[in-house]
A and B are shown apart, each in its own frame.
Chain A
Amino acid sequence: MSARVLVAMSGGVDSSVTALLLKELGYEIVGAHMKLWDFVDVGGDIHKDGRCCTVDSINDCRMVCDSIGAPFYVLNMSQQFKEKVINDFVAEYRAGRTPNPCIRCNSEIKWDAFLRKAEEVGCDYIATGHYAIIEQGDGDRYFIRKGADKTRDQSYVLWGISQEALSKTIMPLGAMLKSEVRGLARKFNLRTAEKTESREICFVADDDYHRFLVEYEAKEGRTYEPGDIVHEDGTVLGQHKGTPFYTIGQRRGLGVAYPTPLYVQRIDVENNRVIVGDDSSLYTDELRAENVNWVSIEPPDDPVNVDIKIRYQHEAAPATLTALTEDRVHAVFDQKQRAITPGQSAVFYDGNLLLGGGVIA
């Protein structure tokens, strides 16, 4: 009997082709869509279509699965998602950091609750449409490599996956170009072939995360307090509307008059201040990261030369990395980097090999 795979389907072209490819390779496919949130909880525009978790997207998954002869289910994971991802997202902003909920969702939902569900229904593997390559290296270690499509590589969001979880994961698109994926979808007449995807935060359906934070906190009886916008030289320049609305490196929307351009340097939650200054002050050459997960290597004993990506759209920069403990690292960049932001992920590479990652402290 062929291995059974639970394919995580969003309703987009990538996960549709993932299911199709694995079917063609002889796997027994079960499609599943994770219902992660509801408009009742997150607000926003219920009429905005084409998103993951909307009825239209779910129907797309359903029809694609039918066309390849696979059963399809919608798994309600909204409770776990709210507890582990949305609540964390809100708490991180309140703590003055800039979270990446997709990474959190991967380690807490996809490679946890979803993987468990797969085992429960007798699936041997899960599969996703990420543009990244999983391969078994020497011995028992599983590696993650950057996707072959340089413009689509998604390895950055995968650093939190455990070795155990990687051993049960298939990512068939890692070696392909997006254009090839779309080409396959067209060739097989998948109804999702022409769909474009959103790269914004899925549960902030109107992309207005200020609106989201205010509404969500209000349900818990919390509001954001206005406070001072302070120049790094100590001068109070104006008022902010609440620290969660500001992120490091931000220039627009500060609402203060100053002869030279000002950028957010730091969020001082303790004193409810937003510190601003020149662009040049944003450049620093070191970071510390916590909650580190080592993927392709064991924690190194000695300092190692790596390339570090400090946000999704950042070009990995050379640095020297020292493991302080099993799950904490210190890195010194060869050249200063702009706006190293607490809460974002630092992901370490050796060429295209993802060594590990952590959350910037």
Chain B
Amino acid sequence: MEPIYLDHNATTPVDPEVVDAMLPFLYNKFGNASSVHATGRDAKVALEKAREIIAEVINCEPSELYFTSGGTESDNIAILGTAYRLWDKKRHLIVGAAEHHAVLEPAEYLAHTEGFELNFLPVDKEGFSSGDSLAALLREDTLIVSVMHANNETGTIQDIAALTAVTHDHKCLFHTDAVQSTGKVKVDVKAMGVDMASITAHKIYGPKGIGALYVRAGVKVWPLFYGGAHEKKRRPGTENVAGAVGFAKALEVALRRQESDYNKMSELADYFIDKVTDTIPDVVLNGPRKNRVPQTMNISFKGIEGESIVLALDLKGIACSSGSACTSGATEPSHVLKAMGVDPILAQGAIRFSIGRSTTRDQLDHVLSVLPEVIGKLREMSPVYSREK
């Protein structure tokens, strides 16, 4: 049996169309986009075309889009770059309780090391946040609110427009991490009303190492790097032209397939969730059944450790994940599920299956044939499960 990859929220294979689009910029069109000569101009033109394509997809001006190395860097520029600019004026931040570490850690750095005040916007049991609870946290000196569009662990899609409606009366900025939603569902930065948005290529069959930050015209952020005029000095460093071209192509493909992919993923996910909950007892889907990125299925198996399920499935050629990986590769308990108020025993047994374009019904059937035995065996050995029963 070929390995079955059900970890597309971690990353995706690069689409062949994307590879084809990128290759010329690795070979003969290798130029530095800042160079004056023809080779450089070719690269620069390709970079700007990529910017135009991406800008159109998320409904912004090309001039509002800054290429970065990916979602983490975009999130860091948004949070830290805003804090650096308003350092002496505004000292309060609000971030979602279920954010990615790329948002949480710069915010926590500002709070713990630089003396900023930090509040977490609570989420309900399905991962949604309300405008009312945001309004209750907003202050005169709130410099930025950052709430992710689609959650990487649960797929919950936040109603960002409902949250920005609250902040618009305040003079604070709103950033959204749209890394897990862009390309999969409609992402329109103007309709969402955000000031900044982070996007990336490798979650949507583009290459790793390229992303972008949308910064609404008129909004200023200070750079994290210095050393050149690239990206209007907001992100100096020789431009990753092949990456940008690949990113644009990946988004084009994603847009073209958005509806059919969405329908296919929804159908497969519904099938899988229903089957798992039918065939295995004490199973809970974490996150909502609707208003979610259908690719993501976060399922808790009561009484056992997610880590053990992931290892046991990997040894059977099935790739999925639990929690989030730290630098060592060890898994840590999910702060997302904790924020959602999931029972700790259920949270410990959570697994994320994230399907993708190559996922088939046959693959899922194979997983469904293996899973009951794996779960059953682990539960037999689990003192927690027998106690909770």
- Which A residues fall within an 8 A CB radius of B? 30, 33, 35, 53, 55, 58, 62, 71, 73-76, 78, 116-117, 119-122
Contacts and interface: CB of A to CB of B under 8 A. Distances in A.
B330 A121 contact: no
Nearest to A76: B330
17 contacts: A30-B315, A55-B327, A62-B329, A73-B311, A74-B328, A74-B329, A76-B330, A76-B332, A116-B381, A117-B311, A119-B381, A120-B308, A120-B311, A120-B312, A120-B377, A120-B381, A122-B377
B329 A121 contact: no
Interface string B218-235: 000000000000000000
Contacts of A33: 328
Contacts of A122: 312, 315, 377
B315 A121 contact: yes
- The SS class assigned to the B binding surface is mixed
B330 A35 contact: yes
In this complex, which of B307, B329, B378, B381 has the most chain A Cβ atoms within 10 angstroms of its Cβ? Answer: B329
A75 B314 CA distance: 14
Nearest to A54: B328
Contacts of A116: 381
Contacts of B308: 117, 120-121
B315 A74 contact: no
A55 B326 CA distance: 10
Contacts of B291: none
Given A73-B311, A120-B312, 12 more contacts: A35-B328, A53-B328, A58-B329, A71-B315, A75-B307, A117-B308, A119-B381, A120-B305, A120-B378, A121-B308, A121-B311, A122-B315
A121 B327 CA distance: 23
Contacts of A78: 330
A75 B312 CA distance: 13
A148 B378 CA distance: 38
B90 to A, nearest CB: 28
In this complex, which of B315, B330, B377 has the most chain A Cβ atoms within 10 angstroms of its Cβ? Answer: B330
B279 interface: no
B330 A75 contact: yes
A29 to B, nearest CB: 12
In this complex, which of A30, A120, A122 has the most chain B Cβ atoms within 10 angstroms of its Cβ? Answer: A120
Contact of A55 (B311, B314, B315, B328): B328
B312 A121 contact: yes
A35 B307 CA distance: 13
Contacts of A30: 315
Interface in B286-338: 305, 307-308, 311-312, 314-315, 327-332
A358 B307 CA distance: 34
Contacts of B330: 35, 74-76, 78
**A-B complex: 4 closest residue pairs judged by Cβ atoms:** A76-B330, A35-B330, A74-B329, A74-B330
Interface in B365-389: 377-378, 381
In this complex, which of B305, B307, B331, B377 has the most chain A Cβ atoms within 10 angstroms of its Cβ? Answer: B307
Contact of B331 (A53, A55, A58, A76): A76
Nearest to B308: A120
A78 B333 CA distance: 11
B326 to A, nearest CB: 8
Contacts of B332: 76
A245 to B, nearest CB: 30
A53 B326 CA distance: 12
